[in-house]
Structure 1
């Protein structure tokens, strides 16, 4: 008998060593035999930092997708080359989509007007000769928003109207000969002396003088990024706002219908001129200098150039095709070079996103030019004219080279000769003028415009959600919100294909206590992209028994271990309090996945790589959780209908972002995050708002106009939803949290299920409380508490 028992025990140990479960062997007098592997998995032998490997894998996936996007863009285009008119009509849907992508969606002032910027110390005419006059002007664009710059007019009737847009760090005075300039500035006066009227707008520059709130913090964020951040969240963009300024200027300059109109720009001004010409077909000829290039490295450029979803449909070649059949001149000149955001001055927060501008290589510019020509060439010939002006040796030209200017003016159908006339000294008015004051006005107007939009965000969202009203019953609500889930996932978050790799799960045992066994688990999702986490399996699960699961999601810079460390001396214990381990001790199966928001710039630059493709980090996180739910649901001791989500901080954000789209979660608990998210992102009067921090990954295009936390929670309903809130949590004030949650409570009550939602306030900070939430899990996952 003794020998048979020893043989049986040896057999069990051998089976366990290979990771095979042997339930129900009837050895109740012996210690529970724990397998070294999770059922159905292969041994995990790989070592290294899986967090870094995950981030690098996502990066590789995105870089490949960026390269692939060039060929895939044609699926979004249906050009009709039968006639020039039909061509313009056929690309109109692409034009309108581009307009939306760059946030040029606000309704302009119906009847724009000029105003001269003058006063007691500022005469109307600031400089003149016998052949022209220079005035400081502004023009209406949006309510409260004006364009500003210099208007240089010949004394006779102008032969052409021109808009010359300097780079962001140049002033109109440099182009007009009123301030020191260099070879990167267009020379305006020869154009005026040849009979052209020229408007020189001022762009928002790359300084950081007014980026911040002196009562809270000033930052090193450039003015362009400062406006970009608050505009982007509401579906607007610094690019689109400045394009609207140019389109309003076109309205004014085209009042004389028989006068041709051209637009040109250098550097950032070239970007604005390029996009304006693509949207506004009244522009007859366009000159782009120091900008045109392949956009595969858009993620390396400054944050204010980030356009969500652009590369799905548009590179520079595709945008050029929208200018056809009009004329486009591309000049390969010395482009602005920007090493990064401003060096952080004293007493300013280093909050700016990284991003640089470098000289485009001649080969890549030429390649994109040829691609643009190919897109607009049909059997009958090219649809329009794309001229590429460059040095034979590929070296950059001086901005506004004679050949580029000549080609541009010829395209206006007027043989305007920029001959060298005898120099005539300008008479300068006794005018006290500071370009910095004009820049401050321009920044302040756009900030106020964006903040007005933010203040209307709740009303904008209410109108957006009208299709789902009225709220009826819990049974009908999921059907009424199907379209909203689709938009949140596909249009705002970015939906990747469903996981394509075989599951191929691997595991290894990490730890065993008297209450649970912990395993490390890794499985594939897409090529180069995997999921990884810790699985905690309670002891004492009977054969055939199905347990509920709690997915415990770590916060920013966390790891799976963050939620299971029970050592009070660990610095982050006061935030996490080992809540994953504590839940496993209560009998829940616990899974602690890794979400790829660790590594600071490393993961944030993955967000930058994702955005031009119409993706976000949550595009990957959702796929990882899809695969995770599939795997968890297949474990022999898991009840796939009772899988809950419980996240803290960034994991709390995941608690509204993931279960709102994945129905495989039976409930969700949001800790240390839930609040008026749009306000948290864009507020200029709150110290912890993301306008003042380096967490630029949080800004998501148009989210504030469509989904706040309450709307996301409504997509979780009729499943249970709970908020855990510490009174001293600096994420947001209690009042913001309570106000946003009141909308959730009202929604659940309207569905007739108020008992399925709760909020717990407690005395504490940014931390797991683990009392009301644990009761919530026991109640709604139907797992009895031990008394």
Structure 2
């Protein structure tokens, strides 16, 4: 029905004409775009890429200061935290297996402990091991040494010539040993699906580590540091002459290791050094939280200065970053980085090895003419052992996070004032976790268009400006029986992933959507509420992860953007004479339940929050290797991961920050989104309920459990909303 009723114009909009009633008050007419989903996604992608460019332009502020050593020291601390390089290493006590002897060299396989399997209890007494190929000249030493790091598509055995995977010209470790060095080539997890079938091995471990403030790249940097310690203890090695050299992914590791470890005299980076403003297009396991705020490759080089840095090969932006790095080297009083070649070779070039020799002064070269091969079975054993060890450690850290959170979350409950003061500090930490966006200020530029004209309410598409070229969108239902001067509560009804506002509202019956959402927006409008159904900014997990990949590089998250969008819609609704700005609520299902939960601590104007079909034990949901609904098993769900989240927040802690406002969990006994068995989630829900009880606010918390699957139920939630939104404001 498209006819605009005179009753709507006169009763609701205070005498405005029927023509004006085709838009909402204080808004301009909106010509709805043909593809709102693509428009919203493109807006956010452009926003994050613009913020990345701004971050790069502003990066110099973190590298200013007259005391260069102090500047580097501070930035190294940030770099360590970003990489999760925070755990003390074990003493490297290697076990050696000789693989080959030639007249000139001995080739061995090393295995040594690096870190304990866990940090608490019995696991702290176990250890995970590093593996490496060691090639040592038989000539009189001590020799300079190079830690040769392969690309993630290769293994240490490949570059040492212990397999037939690479031609001799690309066997970098063997070539360096022929150039007069003792060479240690560490085994790292390769970028492939090998040890488990669901995602690439590196992505699997990266995500496990990300949740507990560790990083796969950081684990490799730690193994390099352990290898440096090991080499320095060997009588055959000159401990003052140790270098790192890598190609592609190995070059990244070499750069980062040299930036943090001043015992490393020189670094060679082949086919990697360049601008990182498009790091979101690189493999997921390279994603670093807040990476581009302080660091590009030039800044990493600045932490290596004044030690030798050899740049080999070319990638996009190599020349730009070298010029920037030269400025840091000048401040450090060192010789500028050496450019070996400008091509993109398959491995480290002969020119780069020659440049390294001028720094490291190896003895006369002797061809490494050994013959040996590591059989595929042994290589598979090494790969599986390494993967299982790191998986066990990172999973143990996730389990230990329960105790870390328990110790940190002891809120005072003797008075509401004491609790609020305590919670405010936790809320600041939470805002750091979801990202601190610039305030959304300026004109609202609201636009609207009539969509529904039903007997009991009218419905409008609504767009509100958040930032320049970023807009919030949703559909607002306005009851027609609002009396002049009356203000009604507003309930946001949030759909799930791959849904749309129309699904959450259910104004026009749709059997598929209604079987999940139960027309809950329509039902709330019929109960007399203003109802706003926002659209989640993107509709697919892949697009959502693409935004997360961009936003995390600058310390932001898509969740934080949703909060900003909701805030601007609240700003607009607060200008409407018939909306009660003291009575806003949020009710979402599935991804909408996720959005409701994560919005709650950050937007205090929502007085009641209902998270339906989402509330979980987030440790299990994001780090369990046996729970089938764990997001580890879903390659396209990177946006479910937040750096170092589990040491500070699971869902119970996020919900606690809603207090003293009202909070409800709606959960079906057959909801497959909730981890099984449900008793884990019940424990987390009861923790929240216990806090509300101790604060004397038991009537503001609800567990709306029902018999049914993943869907809106409403039978307990609707009365909960009625009681809290129609009484005295919270």
Which range, TM-score by smaller chain?
A: over 0.9
| Structure 1, unaligned runs of 5 or more | 1-10, 26-31, 81-85, 117-123, 212-217, 334-359
Q: Distance in 1 between matches of 2:68 and 2:232?
A: 24
What are the Cα deviations for residues 36-75 of structure 1, in whole angstroms up to 9, with x where unaligned? 2211111112432222211111111111222222111112
* 1:761 partner SS: strand
Runs (4+) off by over 6 Å: 429-432
How far has the Cα of 1:457 moved from its partner? 1.6
Q: Distance in 2 between matches of 1:515 and 1:777?
A: 20
How far has the Cα of 1:398 moved from its partner? 5.2
1:293 aligns with 2:247: no
After superposition, the CA RMSD in angstroms is 2.5
How far has the Cα of 1:602 moved from its partner? 2.7
How far has the Cα of 1:231 moved from its partner? 0.9
How far has the Cα of 1:194 moved from its partner? 5.1
- Structure-2 residue corresponding to 1:262: 243
Q: Find the partner of 2:337 among 362, 386, 390.
A: 386
- Structure-2 residue corresponding to 1:113: 93
Q: 1:593 to 1:424 in 2, by over 3 A?
A: closer
Residue pairs, 1:19-98, within 5 angstroms: 21-22=13-14, 35-80=21-66, 86-98=67-79
* 2:606 partner SS: coil
Q: Find the partner of 2:344 among 387, 396, 403.
A: 396
Q: 1:477 to 1:168 in 2, by over 3 A?
A: same
What are the Cα deviations for residues 329-381 of structure 1, in whole angstroms up to 9, with x where unaligned? 11016xxxxxxxxxxxxxxxxxxxxxxxxxx24xx211111111123334xx8
Q: Distance in 1 between matches of 2:175 and 2:322?
A: 29
Q: Distance in 1 between matches of 2:649 and 2:231?
A: 40
How far has the Cα of 1:222 moved from its partner? 1.0
* 2:108 partner SS: strand
Q: Find the partner of 1:630 among 571, 576, 581.
A: 571
Q: 1:34 to 1:513 in 2, by over 3 A?
A: farther
Q: Distance in 2 between matches of 1:382 and 1:164?
A: 27
CA contact under 8 A between 1:562 and 1:578: conserved in structure 2? yes
Q: Distance in 2 between matches of 1:15 and 1:582?
A: 20
Q: Find the partner of 2:558 among 600, 617, 624.
A: 617
Q: Find the partner of 2:629 among 680, 688, 691.
A: 688
Q: Find the partner of 2:424 among 482, 487, 509.
A: 482
Larger Cα Rg: Structure 1 or Structure 2?
1
CA contact under 8 A between 1:125 and 1:429: conserved in structure 2? no
Q: Find the partner of 2:208 among 217, 226, 230.
A: 230
- Structure-2 residue corresponding to 1:416: 362
* 1:481 partner SS: helix
- Structure-2 residue corresponding to 1:744: 688
* Structure 1 stretch displaced more, 246-255 or 738-747: 246-255
CA contact under 8 A between 2:155 and 2:190: conserved in structure 1? no
Residues paired across the two proteins, number: 707
CA contact under 8 A between 1:519 and 1:535: conserved in structure 2? yes
- Structure-1 residue corresponding to 2:121: none
Residue pairs, 1:633-712, within 5 angstroms: 633-693=574-634, 694-712=636-654
CA contact under 8 A between 2:224 and 2:257: conserved in structure 1? yes
* 2:112 partner SS: strand
How far has the Cα of 1:171 moved from its partner? 2.2
Q: Find the partner of 1:169 among 150, 153, 156.
A: 153
How far has the Cα of 1:186 moved from its partner? 4.5
Q: Find the partner of 2:184 among 193, 199, 223.
A: 199
* Structure 1 stretch displaced more, 707-716 or 677-686: 677-686
Q: 1:191 to 1:687 in 2, by over 3 A?
A: closer
How far has the Cα of 1:425 moved from its partner? 4.8
- Structure-2 residue corresponding to 1:119: none
Q: Find the partner of 2:402 among 458, 462, 485.
A: 458
Q: Find the partner of 1:244 among 210, 222, 244.
A: 222
* 1:434 partner SS: helix
Q: Distance in 2 between matches of 1:136 and 1:622?
A: 53
* Structure 1 stretch displaced more, 311-320 or 87-96: 87-96
What are the Cα deviations for residues 229-269 of structure 1, in whole angstroms up to 9, with x where unaligned? 11111111111111111111112222367541111111211
What are the Cα deviations for residues 565-600 of structure 1, in whole angstroms up to 9, with x where unaligned? 155543121110110110010011111111213144
Please report the TM-score for the alignment, with normalisation by the length of structure 1.
Answer: 0.86
How far has the Cα of 1:619 moved from its partner? 2.3
How far has the Cα of 1:675 moved from its partner? 1.1
Q: Distance in 2 between matches of 1:75 and 1:105?
A: 25
- Structure-2 residue corresponding to 1:366: 319
